[in-house]
Chains A and B, each alone.
Chain A
Amino acid sequence: MNLNAISIKNLLRRKGKAAFVLAGLVIGVSTVVGIISYVEAMTNDINHKLEKYGANILIVPKTENLALSYGGLSLGGVSFEMEEIRQKDLEQIGTIKNSANIAALGPLVLGVAPVGQQKVLMAGVDFQAARILKPWWKLQQGELPGADGIILGTEAARVLNLEVGSRLSINDNDMVVSGILQPTGSQDDQLAFTRLATAQLIFDKQGQVSMAEVAALCKDCPIEAMVKQISDALPGAKVMAIQQVVKSRMETLAQFKKFSYGVSSVILLIGSLVVLVTMMGSVRERTDEIGIFRAIGFRKRHVMKIIFTEAAIVSGLAGIIGYFLGFGATKAALALFSENHSGLVPFSIELAGGAVITALVVGLIASSYPAFMAARLDPNEALRAL
């Protein structure tokens, strides 16, 4: 028989009350774990998408011309004089400090190609880099082009009335349509694509590129610093980060995080009040018993230890149950509402440890006043027998 045995026996006797305290803390802890896991999953999801999808730094020649297009409507077409970047200069990008963060570099040569009575904007691209820069590209028909091949966006194929295998002549170069892209919902639907070298040959722009796309954005990439580094490396080019969407999503997520933590704090506070009220009730019910403990020579700290041990057992258990409940609930919620991203909620030993520690801290703090009250009980008053 020791103090721990007294605590355990009391918990077993008052299962209902213990279960009530447990439930209060489990709800609090599981909600916090659920919210944190959900936010973590969302962050992972965004980072995953950012890493997976597309270019986010554009390198274009410095120009004195203003854009003559707005909202997809072009007033000036592409008839104005285009500046070019030397392809060799792009190699400088590999020397920047954060070059390791660059996933892909895609040079692009643009030119207007006459096809019958129509004109089409033709882009020469590096199809190897395009796999990373434009992962949403899917061929509806055909295959990637060879040296004399082109692929067409769906709109371009429709307007030009071309299909896979169609032959055409562009600036006296015989070309064959090797594939047609699935609709992308972007400007790519209206373009014809060929190999970079082929386009340079057709438009007589050997060693030059019209622009370049860089895929670099990942969660730890210092995008603005990278833009600066590339600008320094390519003084004749204008370097822009496409981060508006990313920033907005990150800001929304940050606001959601703040809101979630606020809600979690309130729930934890309510949980701690449940513990406080229940433990106070328990102490009042046990006045007689505590009086006996004090009368037979228990010190105040012995009484407090009994109360704290009970609180610690229930809180620790609540932390463990709360973590798994919150973890499971997040997985279930993501599976139900978010295109099966449940794999993005990994088991986190830090979060599990944090949940147990939070539950313990909340349980012990909420029990400190009842424990203090119990220890202060005057044995003579408590017993009213002597």
Chain B
Amino acid sequence: MSYIVADKLVKKFGKGDAAVAAVADISFQIEEGDFVGIMGESGAGKSTILGILGAMNAPTSGTLTVDGIDIYNLGQEQRADFRREFLGFIFQSFHLVPYLTVIENVMLPLAVVKAGKKKKRQMAEEALDQVGLLEKARRLPNQISGGEKERVAIARSIVNEPPVLLADEPTGNLDTQTTREIMELLLRFNQEGMTIVMVTHSPACAGYAQRILRVTDGRLAEEDTKIRSIERWERNERKREPRLSQDQKLMTGSLPIG
């Protein structure tokens, strides 16, 4: 049996005739250690699927099992326990707690874990070290850059060493260089055995995934299983750069608008 099994997931919003199906009869399986990308247009249902996978958004029908556990058969509090023990979340807009320092943000999932202060700090420092931000541990979120915030969010998501990492547009707000660094970080975690499910718009980021689930109008349009290709990412980037330069020239008016 696969590690994550989504079976005939349906998620409708609204009631009766006005109900809209954000997810319509989707089934897929994810093996332990997979790196899966979910792609699709805005409103296609990607984030809803991720919400369902994250034990936060109960489907209208269908089942989700993770490691043999029927997630939506659990009570709300048990699902909270499941999130704490099984899942790490990376949000598009970081969602750091503004009044906690970098290391305190990373320690947040450990706040409700029974462990000594020293042990928690050590775990947080290790996570921060993995994302290369240990030296900024005492700073507040407003004292670090966007890329660094994303790293803090990643450190927070891995601090309790969850087997599954869910990432929603993890590089959506970042520049190319930082995006590359973040994706390499995720790749490393995946290579160390972590299962990663990532929603992205970016084909370049999707290039890091082993499998791509394409979603259109709440349905699984196609599944693209391929060999992860860093080369393809780099090729994409090379193609993009001249185009961006041209866009910039257009914006500054140095080239005539045709």
Give chain A's interface residues, CB within 8 Å of chain B: 1-3, 5-6, 9-10, 12-13, 288-289, 291-300, 302, 378-380, 383, 385-386
Contacts and interface: CB of A to CB of B under 8 A. Distances in A.
B76 A300 contact: yes
A293 B85 CA distance: 14
Contacts, number: 90
Contact of B81 (A9, A13, A297): A297
Given A299-B80, A300-B77, 4 more contacts: A5-B104, A13-B98, A297-B84, A383-B91
Nearest to B109: A296
Nearest to A295: B89
A307 to B, nearest CB: 14
A86 B89 CA distance: 100
A292 B108 contact: yes
Nearest to B157: A296
**Which secondary structure dominates where chain B touches chain A?**
helix
Interface of B: 47, 50-51, 54, 56-57, 76-77, 80-85, 87, 89, 91-93, 95, 97-100, 104, 107-112, 117, 120, 124, 156, 166, 168
A235 to B, nearest CB: 79
A76 B177 CA distance: 118
A297 B87 CA distance: 9
Contacts of A288: 95
Nearest to A300: B77
Nearest to B98: A13
24 contacts: A1-B110, A1-B111, A1-B117, A1-B120, A1-B124, A2-B111, A5-B104, A6-B97, A6-B111, A13-B98, A291-B95, A293-B108, A296-B108, A296-B109, A297-B81, A297-B82, A297-B109, A298-B80, A298-B111, A302-B112, A383-B91, A386-B50, A386-B51, A386-B89
B99 A9 contact: yes
A6 B105 CA distance: 10
A310 B133 CA distance: 31
A1 B89 contact: no
Contacts of A379: 56
B146 to A, nearest CB: 16
A298 to B, nearest CB: 6
A299 B54 CA distance: 15
Contacts of A12: 99
A297 B104 contact: no
Contacts of A9: 99-100, 104
Contacts of B82: 297
Nearest to A306: B111
B99 A3 contact: no
B99 A299 contact: no
Contacts of A292: 91, 95, 97, 108
Contact of A1 (B84, B95, B107): B107
Given A1-B108, A9-B104, A13-B99, A294 B80 contact: yes
B95 A299 contact: no
A296 B89 CA distance: 7
Contact of B84 (A296, A378, A386): A296
A295 B83 contact: yes
Contacts of B112: 3, 297-299, 302
A297 B80 contact: yes
Contacts of B51: 380, 386
Residue of B47, B83, B89, B111 contacting most chain A CB atoms (<10 Å): B111
Q: Residue among B51, B93, B156, B168 with the most chain A CB within 10 A?
A: B51
Given A1-B111, A2-B111, A297-B80, A289 B97 contact: yes
A292 B92 CA distance: 13
Nearest to A1: B107
A380 B57 contact: yes
B12 to A, nearest CB: 15
A281 to B, nearest CB: 17
Contact of B54 (A6, A298, A300, A386): A386
Contacts of B120: 1
Contacts of A3: 111-112
B224 to A, nearest CB: 23
B223 to A, nearest CB: 22
Contacts of A295: 54, 56, 83, 89
